[in-house]
Amino acid sequence: MQEIRNYTMNFGPQHPAAHGVLRLVLEMDGETVVRADPHIGLLHRGTEKLAESKPFNQSIGYMDRLDYVSMMCNEHAYVRAIETLLGIEAPERAQYIRTMFDEITRILNHLMWLGSNALDLGAMGVFLYTFREREELMDVYEAVSGARMHATYYRPGGVYRDLPDHMSKYRESPWHKGEDLKRFNSWREGSMLDYLDAFTADFPHKVDEYEELLTGNRIWKQRTVGIGVISPEVAQQWSMSGVMLRGSGIEWDLRKKQPYAKYAEMDFDIPVGTHGDCYDRYLVRVAEMRQSNRIIRQCVKWLRENPGPVIVRNFKVAPPPRMEMKEDMEAMIYHFKLFSEGYCVPAGETYAAIEAPKGEFGCYLISDGANKPFRLHCRAPGFAHLSSMDTVVRGHMLADVVAMIGTYDLVFGEVDR
């Protein structure tokens, strides 16, 4: 009689549910996973090493390209590290703008996660629903920075520019015309703050639609309930953070425990799971979108009532206004020096962390007093989470591996760096 042995198979990197470039070598016993070995490094671009050869400001754009679904949150950690070493603090209005855009980014990230994870597990419609709202928030990114994804909007000492007083409108086309065009542009008649007011008033109803499609859905629950259970102890042993930790019942959120920007002034709750399975993590992320919506509304209210500067008036670190450059030779020199040579950061080391949508994203920065980092290391949450793959999926079926990769919310830009 022939001996039945385990066999090894590759899951990814071409598999659509591998979320980019994950190669997972699975040892299978029939349909059951005996061992999972993640192979990473297929998207390694040497970001941290490249930062050592560029002035500080020129690496802000590289941060966007790490976790390319939560762009401004990555910038925030890097910019905070530079500000700590420089000993400067952004103006209050800039801090509120950062808080607001961190939460807009969190919603963007969770919408992408919800749509793609549902698609991985066989729910087609949710993907189309979530991208409807992503499109509206991408317009906000574009309005402040000119780019829909890689914004480079946060700068040491504040943000690149103040919020615009108008939003771009849809033009008449074969797809948008007549009453449809009026409806599409109805939110865009006023300033960006008016637009965000309209969006945040409408968004909870949209989240209700996602929940209607998934939360009570029998197939969705069969694919997620009791799958990938992570106990609080295991979550801590693997250095998990963000939703992976909160889904297991540990109420840890840097926005509450170590507040930065203006989170100390915000009124919001930390959603926490009870069972630590894929379904709990889904519920936590959906609840987080509702909380982010609350924070954005509070920021919009404050920003309406409190105009002011959005970047420090220190021309060694921040460029002078364009009008001053046209009239003042000294301002012109400052501008030229800043964009060609940059600024020297006092020697020292620091670690600045923020509560990114995927977990704790931190930048460990060492300066030797030059105009570029001596060393930069990014603490990516996805890297720590992926390490636990073998422990979590062992004993599950092959189809559950897809659910587990989805629940980690992996983006390989930050894992491989």
pLDDT digits (tens, 9 = 90+) for 217-260: 899 998 899 888 999 999 999 989 989 999 998 989 899 999 99
Residue type for position 395: G
pLDDT at 31: 87
Instruction: Say if residues 268 and 294 touch (Cβ distance below 8 Å).
Output: yes
Mean pLDDT of the chain: 89
- Respond yes or no on whether the N-terminal peptide bond of residue 13 is cis (omega within 30° of 0): yes
Whether the per-residue pLDDT at 191 is higher than 80: the answer is yes
What is the spatial distance between Cα 404 and Cα 154, in angstroms, rounded to a whole number? 33
pLDDT at 1: 58
Here the tokens at position 77 are 């950690």
Instruction: Say if residues 51 and 60 touch (Cβ distance below 8 Å).
Output: no
What is the spatial distance between Cα 12 and Cα 195, in angstroms, rounded to a whole number? 41
Report angle CA 374, 380, 383 to the nearest 5 degrees.
Answer: 120
pLDDT at 216: 87
Please give the model's pTM, rounded to 2 decimal places: 0.92
What is the spatial distance between Cα 405 and Cα 393, in angstroms, rounded to a whole number? 10
pLDDT tens for residues 25-64?
A: 988 888 889 999 999 888 898 899 999 999 998 899 899 9
Return the HEC string of the chain. Answer: CCCCCCEEEEECCCCHHHCCCCEEEEEEECCEEEEEEEECCCCCCCHHHHHCCCCHHHHHHHHHCCCCCCHHHHHHHHHHHHHHHHCCCCCHHHHHHHHHHHHHHHHHHHHHHHHHHHHHCCCHHHHHHHHHHHHHHHHHHHHHHCCCCCCCCEECCEECCCCCCCCCCCCCCCCCCHHHHHHHHHHHCCCHHHHHHHHHHHHHHHHHHHHHHHCCCHHHHHHHCCCCCCCHHHHHHCCCCCHHHHCCCCCCCHHHHCCCCCHHHCCCCCCCCCCCCHHHHHHHHHHHHHHHHHHHHHHHHHHHHCCCCCECCCCCCCCCCHHHHHHCHHHHHHHHHHHHCCCCCCCEEEEEEEEECCEEEEEEEEECCCCCCCEEEEECHHHHHHHCHHHHHCCCEHHHHHHHHHHHCCCHHHHHC
Closest CA to 69 of 164, 134, 22: 134
- Residue 201's pLDDT band (cuts 50, 70, 90): very high
Whether the per-residue pLDDT at 2 is higher than 80: the answer is no
Tokens 């970047």: give the residue: 311
Whether the per-residue pLDDT at 14 is higher than 90: the answer is no
Here the tokens at position 219 are 């197939």
